[in-house]
Amino acid sequence: MRVLITGGAGFLGRKLAAALLREGALALDGGAPQPIEQITLFDAVPAADLPDDRVETVTADITDRGVLDRLTAGADLVWHLAAVVSAAAEADFDLGYRVNVDGTRLLLEAMRATGRRGRIVFASSLAVYGGDMPAVITDDFQATPQTSYGTHKAIGELLLADHSRKGHVDGRSLRLPTIVVRSGTPNKAASTFASSIIREPLAGRETVCPVPPDTAVYILSPRQVVASLLRAMLLPERSWPASRTLLLPGITVSVADMVSALARAAGTDVADRIRWQPEPDIQRIVDGWPVRAEALRARGLGFTDDGSFDDILRAFIDDDLGGTIPSQPNGR
Amino acid sequence: MRVLITGGAGFLGRKLAAALLREGALALDGGAPQPIEQITLFDAVPAADLPDDRVETVTADITDRGVLDRLTAGADLVWHLAAVVSAAAEADFDLGYRVNVDGTRLLLEAMRATGRRGRIVFASSLAVYGGDMPAVITDDFQATPQTSYGTHKAIGELLLADHSRKGHVDGRSLRLPTIVVRSGTPNKAASTFASSIIREPLAGRETVCPVPPDTAVYILSPRQVVASLLRAMLLPERSWPASRTLLLPGITVSVADMVSALARAAGTDVADRIRWQPEPDIQRIVDGWPVRAEALRARGLGFTDDGSFDDILRAFIDDDLGGTIPSQPNGR
């Protein structure tokens, strides 16, 4: 199998690639495992080298149709993760549309042009929801996004579904909860604080939380997101609804819950590295996201949440900090 | 007020223009009536002349940004009706995307570039619904279209909402039921039969019905559609939900009900001019559309249905046949 990952230089793309290298083979539709021969990490910025012969990196703009034609011609499976993230898309309207809408459409057109009906998993987002919402989002509730990013993801789902229906691709979209704890550095997603308030204090750094402690978030760990992205690729096509889209399970926690878990695991002096500094622009975006969802359809197909925030914190320490909480500069 | 109507050469565009000329003035937001100074009928095909000094016609491609810039610069109000219709969009994937998606996006970009936050009413469609649906569609039910046309309309709604939220336009989308009875000639909409089976026999012509008599349709008369398009433009912005989209009320009738009403009004020999000849491609599209909807939000804002199919038939005879059923060639 030859794999293409757009957004391959990103945090999630690298995690997914690492998981694929560990797996070594993929069993599509419950069939025999087929070895992964090649993973192409495609991104607008250079991807850090993964020390593996099976990995190649390609740096180009996602609206470069020539590059897309070449890459899709050489790919059996595509994970489409590339996106201008929420706050960035809100700040630069044109860039967001160019990358998130035009990029997705061109990628699908390139796959269509191969004539091979490639399989593609699209990272959509709970940001497709917005406006008046029930307390708990159900599988059939409408997507009425209140951000440009959410709009782009909703359009991407529609494009994937239409190209799938027409037989151009075999598309599968996942509406991802907020991913916590992200490794690396803060990005321009409005949700980046939800990871920063854990990751930065654990690294001995101060960080700013732009929303109040009672803010609720609907989250999934990177470990579970990667498992879900894999599962979405392996499931038989008949498992998918006509919309080609699944709302993923997550857990609902408050920022205060998260900080308490951090204090329990690493001490209150670590948790005290969070400064509380309201940012209305971020607050407005975050307030527009749903905080509870049922996700029965995805649960029925074996997608799962993390159980608790303590589990999410443990997964971060295991996967990204080598299994131990770093010794703390100021005396712990 | 200067008005731009895209799709202005079409059946609905002409009806809307005629209604605007009759009204002579528009009272936006419940304010004082302002005279209509100019109506531009913009279409890819030449619009028939309306004998009125206030009307101009422009024939150009809707993806011609230069034309769009010029037209939007000279318009206070825009009704965006232009579209490649359902069966045509299904038959020519690229044409459908170019006109319906690119055209809508370019129109919104042109309006944005004027810096005047123009008001735009977009003719969306119940074709945005598809796949697994409840017996009755409610206002918050998700749009998961199963045709390219429905996909385009759903994308158009999302674009209008996002441009509205960003302050580029003041956008309002209406999800229209199937429009019956259309005047003129059959078009490439999958729903065209629902008008043809009434209009053609009344004109003394045979016609083909491609679906069985028990097929249910959710319909609205041209008269009510035009009234709804007007109302959507006049309502204050605060009336609209965050999605900027309203599902319109209609009535649910079977094809058999329609034919019975025709026979009652014009005689069985007229109704006998319908030949029943199943067309699976049409049937598949029509079967995917919802047949019942609640539309509580729109009803609360004063949008109404026609009451009964007899009323719809009467409106057609009054508005399009000069108030009388034509004498029938074969002896009536």
pLDDT digits (tens, 9 = 90+) for A216-240: 999 999 999 999 999 999 999 999 9
Pairing of strands A251-254, A216-220: antiparallel
Give the side-chain half-sphere CA count within 13 A for B11: 20
CATH architecture assignment, domain A2-176+222-247: 3-Layer(aba) Sandwich (3.40)
Q: Order of strands across the sheet with A38-43?
A: A55-59, A38-43, A2-6, A77-80, A119-125, A170-176, A245-247
CA distance to partner chain A, nearest, from residue B246 (Å): 12
- pLDDT, tens digit, for every residue of A15-72? 999 999 999 999 999 999 999 999 999 999 998 878 899 999 999 999 999 999 999 9
Question: What is the C-alpha to C-alpha distance for residues B166 and A89, in angstroms, rounded to an integer?
Answer: 12
Distance CA B229, CA B11 (A): 14
Long-range contacts of the stretch A201-206 (C-beta < 8 A, 24+): A201/A262, A201/A266, A201/A270, A201/A271, A201/A273, A201/A274, A202/A262, A202/A266, A202/A270, A202/A317, A202/A321, A202/A325, A202/A326, A203/A326, A204/A273, A204/A326, A204/A328, A204/A329, A204/A330, A205/A273, A206/A273, A206/A274, A206/A275
Q: What is the pLDDT of residues A281-307, one digit of tens each?
A: 899 888 888 999 999 999 999 999 999
b/e A298-331 (16+ beta carbons within 10 angstroms → b): bbeeebbbbeebebbbbbbbebbeeeebeebeee
B2-176+220-247 topology per CATH? Rossmann fold (3.40.50)
Q: How far apart are CA A118 and CA B307, in angstroms?
A: 49
3-state secondary structure B244-291: CEEECCCEEEEHHHHHHHHHHHHCHHHHCCEEECCCHHHHHHHHCCCC
Q: Which site among A160, A238, A243, A294 would you substitute to test the B interface, given the most B Cβ atoms closer than 10 Å to its Cβ?
A: A243
pLDDT of residue A286: 87
What is the 3-class SS of B44-55, one letter each residue? CCCCCCCCCCCE
Averaged over A76-90, what is the pLDDT?
95
Neighbours of A100 (CB within 10 A): 24
Q: Strand ranges (DSSP E) for A51-110?
A: 55-59, 77-80
Q: Is ipTM > 0.85 here?
A: yes
Instruction: Look at A148-152, A173-177, A252-256, B187-191 and tell me which has the smallest mean pLDDT.
Output: B187-191
Minimal-distance CA residue of chain A relative to B142: A142
pTM, to two decimals: 0.96
* Chain A residues close to B161, C-beta within 8 Å: 144-145, 151
State residue A49's pLDDT score.
Answer: 79
What would the pLDDT profile of B230-283 be if each residue is shown by its tens digit? 999 999 999 999 999 999 999 999 999 999 999 999 999 999 999 999 999 899
Beta bridge partners of A56: A40
Q: Is residue B50 pLDDT above 90, yes or no?
A: no
Mapping DSSP to helix (H, G, I), strand (E, B) and coil, where does residue A211 land? coil
Half-sphere exposure of A49 (CA within 13 A, CB side): 3
Distance CA B285, CA B133 (A): 15
Q: Name the one residue in this structure whose structure tokens are 């131990």.
A: A324
What residues of B are annotated to the active site?
149
Report the pLDDT value the prediction gives residue B331, as an integer from 0 to 100. Answer: 45
Chain B residues in contact with A243 by the CB 8 A cut-off are 131, 142, 144
- Render B24-43 in DSSP notation, one character per residue: -EE-GGG---EE--EEEEEE
Q: Are B170 and B161 in contact (CB under 8 A)?
A: no
| Domain range B192-217+250-320, CATH architecture | Alpha-Beta Complex (3.90)
Q: Which residues of A are catalytic?
A: 149
Q: Do A148 and B154 touch (CB under 8 A)?
A: no
Give A117→chain B minimum CA distance, Å. Answer: 16
Q: Where are the domains of chain A?
A: 2-176+222-247, 192-217+250-320
| Res A332: pLDDT | 44
In this complex, do B132 and A165 lie within 8 Å of one another by their Cβ atoms? no
3-state helix, strand, coil in chain B (%, to 5): 45, 20, 40
Nearest CA in chain B to A144: B243
